[in-house]
Amino acid sequence: MKKILFSIILVVGLSGCSDFLEPDSPSEYVPETADALNEMLLGEAYPKATTTGLFSLHGALDDDIEMSDVYIAQRTTSAIENLRLVYSWDPEMYDLYESGTNAMKQWKTYYQFILGTNAALDYLSDVTGSVEDKAYVAAQAYALRAFFYFNLVNLFGEPYNYNKAADGVPLKLASGLSDNYEKRATVGEVYEQIIKDLNEAEKNFLTLPEASQNKASYRINLPAVELLHARVCLHMEDMEGAAKYARKVIEDWDYSLYDLKSFIKVDEIVAGVDASYPNYVSLENPETIWAYGSASDFVSTIGLADYMEDGKTLAYMVNASQGLIDCFEEEDLRKTLYLVQELRGADNAQPKDLKPAEGHYLPWSKCIMNYNNSVKYNTVFGMSLRLSEAYLILAEAVYNTDEELALRMINELREKRYAEGKNYEVNYSGEELLNFIREERRRELCFEGQRWFDLRRYGMPSFKRRWIEYGDYLGNYVIEKEDAAYTLPISSDVIERNPALKQNRLTTKKILQ
Is 260 within a domain?
yes
Dihedral sign for Cα atoms in the order 277, 280, 285, 286: positive
d(C-alpha 109, C-alpha 492), whole Å: 16
Residue 2 lies in a domain: no
SS3 477: strand
Residue 449: give its domain's CATH number: 1.25.40.390
- Report pLDDT for 16: 36
List the strands of the sheet with 340-346, edge to edge: 305-307, 313-316, 340-346, 355-362
Q: Is the pLDDT of residue 191 over 50?
A: yes
User: Do the Cβ atoms of 414 and 277 come closer than 8 Å?
Assistant: no
Looking at the predicted structure, is the pLDDT value of residue 25 above 60? no
C-alpha 380/C-alpha 401 separation (Å) is 41
- Tell me how far apart the alpha carbons of residues 178 and 20 are, in angstroms, rounded to a whole number: 7
Q: Is residue 503 part of a domain?
A: no
Flag whether 504 is in a domain. no
- How many domains, the chain? 1
* 439-493 pLDDT per residue, tens: 999 999 999 999 999 999 999 999 999 999 999 999 999 999 999 999 999 999 9
* Domain that includes residue 475, residue range: 17-497
The SS3 of residue 82 is helix
Residue 508 in domain: no
Q: How many Å apart are CA 117 and CA 438, to the nearest integer? A: 33
Q: If pLDDT is split at 50, 70 and 90, which confidence band does 178 have? A: confident
Task: Say whether pTM exceeds 0.85.
Answer: yes
Spatial contact of 141 and 120, defined as CB atoms under 8 Å apart: yes
Q: Pairing relation of β-strands 305-307 and 65-67?
A: unpaired
Question: Rounded mean pLDDT of 373-382?
Answer: 95
- On the CB side of 459, how many CA atoms lie within 13 Å of its CA? 5
Inside any domain, residue 1: no
Q: Got the DSSP string for 139-190?
A: HHHHHHHHHHHHHHHHHHS--HHHHTTSB-------SS--SSPPPPPBHHHH
Is pLDDT at 79 greater than 50 in this prediction?
Answer: yes
DSSP 197-225: HHHHHHHHHHTS-HHHHT-SSSS--HHHH
Residue 99 falls within a domain, yes or no? Answer: yes
Confidence of residue 26 (pLDDT cuts 50, 70, 90): very low
Q: Does residue 210 have a pLDDT over 50?
A: yes
**Torsion angle, alpha carbons of 68, 455, 240, 147, to 10:** -70
**Exposed/middle/buried for residue 303 (C-beta within 10 Å: 0-12, 13-18, 19+):** buried
DSSP three-state, residue 444: helix
Buried-exposed string 432-443: b where 16+ CB fall within 10 A, e elsewhere: ebbebbbebbbb
End-to-end CA distance of the chain: 55
Give a yes or no: residue 513 inside a domain: no
Mean pLDDT of 319-341: 98
